[in-house]
Structure 1
């Protein structure tokens, strides 16, 4: 009987609290997920690696709201500013991976103006 009461209390707690809220992706996680894209965006040859597309899709799956979009944008902007990259190659990744990126990968984008 006591275990039945305990089970009911646990179920009620889950009903009141609900499912845990997913955390926003960090800039470090964005960088780790997009590492397979580096060789592609820093050169003039080759095709987008499958692991790059997987990373892009993982990052985009974490973009749930305007704050996520802006944070991811600022992270990408910072990352590409630190490396020598071929802009048109970076801009081609979403198309090549079949992903809709709501902004261009660029060092000049104003991420704070993005909306979901």
Structure 2
């Protein structure tokens, strides 16, 4: 998932600001997750990928949408219960 790769440096705290590529990919996410049937797999995908990046911080994951003014209908964290995403 390109969005994850673009945002990994910020989510692990290696850089202070997310990249423009991260912003572009994150802005695509709301359009790709318009229904519950779309949101749950996207949530699970993000949860499964996060452990591949040691040092990912949930606080930084939560900050990503705010950094770019993106509204998501679910939180991006390693602990999100994707079955409860509606």
Please, what TM-score do these two structures have when normalized by structure 2? 0.86
- Whether the 8 Å contact between 2:11 and 2:61 is mirrored in structure 1 is yes
Taking the TM superposition and a 5 Å limit, the aligned residue runs for 1:29-108 are 31-43=1-13, 45-84=15-54, 85-108=56-79
Please, what TM-score do these two structures have when normalized by structure 1? 0.66
1:40-77 CA distances to partner (integer Å, 9 max, x unpaired)? 11125421212101101112211121110101100111
Q: Computing the radius of gyration over CA atoms, which structure comes out larger, 1 or 2? A: 1
Q: Segments of 4+ in structure 1 off by > 3 A? A: none
Unaligned runs of 5+ in 1: 1-30
Unaligned runs of 5+ in 2: none
- Whether the 8 Å contact between 2:4 and 2:46 is mirrored in structure 1 is no
Inter-CA distance 34–60: structure 2 relative to 1 (3 Å threshold): farther
Higher relative contact order (CA 8 A, sep 6+): 2
